[in-house]
Copies of this chain bind each other. A is one copy, B any other.
């Protein structure tokens, strides 16, 4: 059974549109785009589309790809100091010659609607809901909440170990009283862990890693990302899992983009409320 993420996204946008109607001014969202690679461009376009759709100004600053790290740092500093820029994002990934973490660390935490600054990350760990949860984990939590999937007393298996997605994800689940098992490419007997889990969240970039016999009945599968080989898209979950009636699964690539973008808009509206209360 496929989780209806379009319905979830629609509900979020309807709520946000209602919120915005009551605002005194039209909110804006600023974005810095450095690298014109197809993936970044696609993301930025989605963000622009949805911002406009719900009546948020979207202001994009394009920077030449060959910018020096120091100069990008200075632009970030200008954005921090500019009282007209209330909050902004720096579209990731950045070109390889720039240290992304260094740039992220210099975004002012109160302007960081992506929730990537250490202070905001730490607030996620502390379960401080007044701040910005990074958008992909936030989207996953939104799915769990909207689908009424309780993780308390449950076992959740998360596969992979990146900094800006998985570590906050694990912390959020721990905060929600889940028993969390964090697996990675050096996990022995992965099937034992997945097959005893009530919820499996996977972003392994490993084609069809998750097979039907690795999942227990009525498990929820949240498949976050996919791999493209010879123009064919492979999910981390075997496509056979979609046809089963006894589980719940998210489709990729659809939901990640959609809900991640929706959560960015939600963070933007949250930022507006914090700054205007």
Please give the residue numbers on chain A whose beta carbons come within 8 Å of chain B beta carbons, in ascending order: 101, 118-119, 121-123, 125-126, 152-155, 161, 163, 166-167, 170-171, 174-175, 177, 179-184, 186-188, 192-193, 196
Decide: A153 and B101 in contact? CB cutoff 8 A. Answer: no
Copy number in the complex reads 2
**Nearest neighbor of A166 in chain B, beta-carbon distance:** B174
Smallest beta-carbon distance A164→chain B, Å: 10
Contact residues in B for A161 (Cβ distance below 8 Å): 174-175, 177
Decide: B179 and A181 in contact? CB cutoff 8 A. Answer: yes
A119 vs B192: C-alpha distance in the bound complex, in angstroms? 36
Decide: A153 and B186 in contact? CB cutoff 8 A. Answer: yes
Q: 23 A-B contacts, Cβ less than 8 Å apart?
A: A118-B118, A118-B119, A118-B123, A119-B122, A121-B122, A121-B125, A125-B167, A126-B163, A152-B186, A154-B188, A161-B175, A161-B177, A167-B174, A170-B171, A170-B174, A170-B182, A179-B184, A179-B186, A179-B188, A179-B193, A180-B182, A181-B182, A182-B182
